[in-house]
Amino acid sequence: MIIIAGFAFAWWSYRKTLPPVSPTRRRTLIALRTLGIALLLLALFELLISSVGYRTEEPILLAAFDNSESMALLGSSDSRIAEARSGMRMLFESELASQMLPFSFSDSIRTVLPSALDSVASAKGAETDIANLFDVASDSIRSRNLGAIVIFTDGRYNSGPNPAFDAERLGLPVYVVGLGDSIEPRDISVEQLFTNDIAYVGSEQPVQVRVRSAGYDQRPAELILQDDNGVVARQPVTILPGVNEYTTNFLWTPRTEGTARLRASIQSFEDELTGRNNSQSSLVRVKSNKRRYLMISGSPNPDFAFMKRRLQNNPEVELLTFVQRDGTSFLEGTLSPASFKDAETVVLIDYPTKESNRATVEMIASTIRRGNIPLLTILGSNVDYEKLTVVEDLLPVKLGRTRTNESQVFTDITPSGQNHPATGFSDSGAWSRMPPIFKSETTFSLRPESEMLATARIGSSRLDEPLIVSRKVGKTRSLMVVGYGIWRWDLIGEGKAAAAGKEELDVLDNFANSTLRWLAVREDEQQVKITTSKKIYNLGESVRFLGQVYDESYQPVNNAEVKVQIEGPNGSTELTLAPSGSGRYEGILSGLAAGDYRFSGDANLGNRKIGSDAGRFVIDEVGIEFIQTSMNVSFLRALAERTGGKFYTVDQLGSLVEDIRLNKKFTERSIEQSEEWSTRESIWFLIAALSCFAIEWFIRKRSGML
């Protein structure tokens, strides 16, 4: 159509010429204009030229060997890695050499050149991820005629998913050469050290250690548990003949706050396979068992006295009290922002009153806001509701109409309250047996994010009015008792139970301690967070640092400079984390020696410091590769059978190449090749069109045409 349109326009242009020219010249001009217009239109309107062809591709053999640390152990007659090298070399020298796609695998995948086989096969990988190999095969099968897979391995995968499922989905035969001895070699190892991730100073914590032995006659051994301060305990273990596991329990009492390292080790024997699996470590976060509370009261009233007594009887609580003497002073001394230091919760009882100094109330409110300190508020008969508005934004309720008339109300726990840590007791009926407390007729309304834990009841009349309300929003928590006289739960409640000869749940004690524990839970929302991907690394593993940086509004910061200082047994080093988007930063440190490491990191934006974080990790001498040292023969046989391949030992390799060649899936295939070419992408069409127009112009000039 383009050529016809060009010809029609050219014929119409040259149907008559002035001056007249010969028919031959006229036909030449028509042809040049037709060709020029056609080429120009082709260049502008993008003609797509497609071609389809077929080619024959030989089948490809993906051959890979395990290059992890366990391959350095003894195989049939030589080290496993030496036997793997020998098997790969046999394939490189076979008729399949030109069809091979060679790899090594451990914690990562690497292509291998035949000339570099000896240097690459070093058995230094920290982990074994066989599934990763089949992911590579899955990618290759889309573009290559992959016909079979050969792997040389001991089958002890310890990273990634079960590779059998990935291999089966490929639909390719997997030929497996098993390396190592399927019989457990003579060895003793610490298989597991298990304890809680969090411990408390001065509180005993159980530690469980599991030991495995194989190939020994009966003999004694000693298991040692250590922390940062030295030996915690020693326990004898009797090693029995055959393959056995032994579980030993220790008790550990942490002495200081921070991150503690626990290490369990069992003595080495000269005739064992390796001593690198004779210990295990674990990092435990140790928190202070002391909870520090600040209690402020408008007067030495019964609620204050009973709460103070309850909390002081708890050895885990450090209580600081301030009782108002007059508007500007307290019985215990000066109340200042420094008084709030390290306070986990602030408790206001019957405060502020009419005598309270407004500046003092504002100081209390601003200090709580600035430190995001949780707040427990218990009203009283002397509360000044006008001054209470200073802290209103910190309360879980909004103040309404103020009336000082009071009523006695019972406590009705709501369904939410039954499941809340502060009010949900094991004895669900305990609240209903409590005597009434006092409540003014002042009205309160819940904030949208607040939760009503209890409502007020007068006699049998249930009031839809809050009595106990909690709130959790962002990093702040608060709880409020919209009443007073809670001492009655203790004195009168216990008295009634004693008169009836029953043992009553201590509601006030449970409520006070449960509430303060819930309030003291701090949301982990630092502006700067820097951690490692794991706490315990095996020797040879790379350490991955992960960072998060946020501004004061907790929005991600993407252009910060994040530097981490790492202190270890061989000195210090610095690592700058690279941004990875959404306020996240990453960095990798390799080649670290075994030992204990501590790190601290800072995030800066220009000259302004955003924040910092610190942590600890361990490079353990024990490698995960040495926990199980025998060949996983059952897994390797199943892998070969489920994929239509075959399992071999080292002395059966003679038939490997022929078995692969005879497999029906290892065959040539015709591959369709299609190519597309767009005229718009070629400048030659435009050059040719301009050339035609130039020649046409030259002939017209020579002919004296306009």
625: its two tokens: 């590769």
Q: Is the pLDDT of residue 343 over 70?
A: yes
DSSP string, 525-593: --SEEEEES-SEEETTPPEEEEEEEB-TTS-B-SS-EEEEEEEETTEEEEEEEEEEETTEEEEEE--PP
124 closest CA partner among 623, 636, 629:
623
Alpha-carbon Rg of the chain, whole angstroms?
Answer: 40
Q: What percentage of the chain carries pLDDT values higher than 90?
A: 42
What whole-number distance in Å separates Cα of residue 572 and Cα of residue 415? 55
Whether residue 221 contacts residue 188, with contact meaning beta carbons closer than 8 Å, is answered with: yes
What is the model's pLDDT at position 606?
Answer: 86
Q: Is the pLDDT of residue 118 over 70?
A: yes
State the residue for tokens 């020696």.
593
Whether residue 184 contacts residue 243, with contact meaning beta carbons closer than 8 Å, is answered with: yes
What is the model's pLDDT at position 473?
Answer: 83
Q: Is the pLDDT of residue 572 over 90?
A: yes
Q: Is the pLDDT of residue 35 over 70?
A: yes
Q: What percentage of the chain carries pLDDT values higher than 70?
A: 89
Whether residue 614 contacts residue 601, with contact meaning beta carbons closer than 8 Å, is answered with: yes
As a dihedral over the C-alpha atoms of residue 169, residue 170, residue 171, residue 177, rounded to 10 degrees, the angle is -110
**CATH topology agreement for domains 57-183+632-669 and 528-624:** no
Q: Domain-by-domain residue ranges, the chain?
A: 2-51+677-702, 57-183+632-669, 187-287, 291-519, 528-624
User: How many other C-beta atoms lie within 10 A of the C-beta of residue 56?
Assistant: 9
Q: Is the pLDDT of residue 252 over 50?
A: yes
What whole-number distance in Å separates Cα of residue 469 and Cα of residue 479? 6
pTM beyond 0.85, yes or no: no
Q: Is the pLDDT of residue 495 over 60?
A: no
Q: Which residues, 6 or more positions from 64, have their beta carbon under 8 angstroms from its beta carbon?
A: 102, 103, 104, 105, 109, 133, 149, 150, 151, 152
Q: Write out 180-211 in H/E/C secondary structure.
A: CCCCCCCEEEEEEEECCCEEECCCCEEEEEEE
Type of residue found at 151: I
What whole-number distance in Å separates Cα of residue 117 and Cα of residue 291? 61
The more confident residue out of 77 and 403 is 403
Strand, coil or helix: 664:
coil
Superfamily, domain 291-519: Class I glutamine amidotransferase (GATase) domain (3.40.50.880)
DSSP string, 109-122: EEE--GGGHHHH--
Most confident of 124-133, 153-162, 488-497, 569-578: 569-578
Whether residue 477 contacts residue 374, with contact meaning beta carbons closer than 8 Å, is answered with: yes
- Span 154-160, average pLDDT: 85
Model pLDDT for residues 576-631, shown as the tens digit of each residue:
999 988 788 999 998 888 889 999 999 998 888 999 999 999 988 766 777 777 88
Burial class for 482, CB neighbours closer than 10 Å (0-12, 13-18, 19+): buried
Burial class for 533, CB neighbours closer than 10 Å (0-12, 13-18, 19+): middle
Which of these CATH numbers, 3.30.70.260, 3.40.50.150, 3.40.50.410, 3.40.50.300, describes 57-183+632-669? 3.40.50.410
CATH number of 528-624: 2.60.40.1930
Q: Is the pLDDT of residue 503 over 60?
A: no
Distances in Å between the Cα of 316 and the Cα atoms of 202, 319, 671 are 10, 10, 76
State the residue for tokens 């996983």.
632
Model pLDDT for residues 407-424, shown as the tens digit of each residue:
999 999 999 998 888 888
CATH number of 187-287: 2.60.40.10
Model pLDDT for residues 270-299, shown as the tens digit of each residue:
888 778 788 888 898 888 777 889 999 999
What is the model's pLDDT at position 498?
Answer: 47
What whole-number distance in Å separates Cα of residue 366 and Cα of residue 394? 10
What whole-number distance in Å separates Cα of residue 557 and Cα of residue 527? 10
What whole-number distance in Å separates Cα of residue 431 and Cα of residue 657? 80
Model pLDDT for residues 540-555, shown as the tens digit of each residue:
778 999 998 987 766 7
User: How many other C-beta atoms lie within 10 A of the C-beta of residue 459?
Assistant: 9
